[in-house]
Amino acid sequence: MSVDLAFDEQELLPAVAQDADSGDVLMLAYVSEDALERSRETGLAHYYSRSRDEIWKKGGTSGHTQDIEEIRVDCDGDALLYLVHQEGGACHTGFESCFHRTLDGETVGDRVFDPDDVYE
């Protein structure tokens, strides 16, 4: 890598996935160095699951993959921006974006699939 990255004490970086066409913020996840390398090698978004302690490919179960157009690094090297082309919904709850609620609990996003049908 030509840019120095500042991984945290768990060896992770936050990565925001943004729709490359609309600019909509789709989700926030974390990446390890290995997950980032897999993303670069395959062109598909890979993340690190802190709860499962493993690398996962976005859409591995649902088929709702993220094709990466570009990966950007913030000025401090401690956060990433994945500019992606999202296939299907980004959120495991069935919504187009994980940011589908206001702080007051109002739903502002669209549900694009039924998670019960996808994650049986």
Average pLDDT over residues 18-37: 97
Give the pLDDT confidence score for residue 66 in this predicted structure: 98
Radius of gyration of the chain (CA): 14
Q: Quick one: the chain helix, strand, coil %, rounded to 5?
A: 10, 35, 55
Angle among Cα 8, 9, 10 to the nearest 5 degrees reads: 90
For domain 13-112, give the CATH superfamily: Phosphoribosyl-AMP cyclohydrolase (3.10.20.810)
Question: Rounded to whole angstroms, how far apart are CA atoms 47 and 43?
Answer: 13
Mean pLDDT to the nearest integer, 80-98:
96
Mean pLDDT of 52-76: 96
Q: How far apart are CA 64 and CA 84, in angstroms?
A: 12
